[in-house]
Structure 1
């Protein structure tokens, strides 16, 4: 390897009906995150977001807006993750996860979020800000 980092692009979904956030817990780390994953060849970030939510949670969603783009360096990768606000369309909690990486799927409150062990701790502030924004809109 010539010292060049590889790129990885992903998409993440913020789904918050009824003031609760849809989250998943990874088997390997035991930590929580919002549904997310890699963008496959030929997919737009929005399409990847919708697919990942279905695979990881069993819910069908619609993206309703881009809310954040996170750039980070993880190991040898330049990582770019597009975060989308999503609207729940239909479905129920179900495990379709092709990677068999999910231990639990659950709806979490803002109070839960304060104490959860997050896969991406840097996301806590962003996620909490959406609970606050939701409260102001009501």
Structure 2
């Protein structure tokens, strides 16, 4: 079985909103997620997180701390995603995704996140817990 390894960044702003992206291939339903992506050869997980955030959102970020590792299986592939708490240190909202899978960038409140259709519904509790911690 193949293994896909990636990184995801959870960023909460001063208004207690989380950074989200609307994603999906052109022929797929578009769903919301925290910015994330796959590890490239020779890249650390932290570098992957920083690169993916820049590509998907246009923001430059700093990693605050690792949060947890989500492991599972999807379509016959073992998946390992390393989540990091991050903060924006520069840049501006701009989609630069070379894979053309990102369709929108938005800051969402806890109430808004609860109403979104998520790419990974299992991430909802983590996102809401982090928003609660930030109050």
TM-score tier, shorter chain, comes to over 0.9
Q: Secondary structure at the match of 1:130?
A: helix
Give the Cα–Cα distance (whole angstroms) in 1 for the partners of residues 123 and 29 of structure 2.
16
Distance 1:51 1:83 in 2: 14
Match of 2:133 in 1: 133
**Secondary structure in 1 aligned to 2:68?**
strand
Say which structure is richer in helix.
1
Deviation at 1:29, TM superposition (A): 2.7
TM-score (norm 2): 0.95
Give the deviation of 1:91 after TM superposition: 1.1
Q: Secondary structure at the match of 2:134?
A: helix
For residue 78 of structure 1, report the CA deviation from its aligned partner. 0.6
Contact kept, 8 Å, 1:29 with 1:119, in 2: the verdict is no
Q: CA RMSD in A?
A: 0.7
Where does residue 38 of structure 2 map in the other structure? 38
Structure 1 segments unaligned to the other structure (5+ residues): none
Written as runs of structure 1 = structure 2, the 5 A alignment for 1:35-114 is 35-114=35-114
Q: Write out the 4+ residue segments of structure 1 that deviate beyond 2 Å after TM superposition.
A: none
Distance 2:98 2:108 in 1: 24
Higher Rg: 1
Distance 1:16 1:131 in 2: 7
TM-score (norm 1): 0.93
Q: Distance in 1 between matches of 2:29 and 2:123?
A: 16
- Residue among 13, 17, 27 paired with 2:13: 17
Structure 2 spans left out of the alignment, 5+ residues: none
Summarize deviations over 1:83-124 as a string: whole Å, max 9, x none: 000011001110111011111110100000111000000000
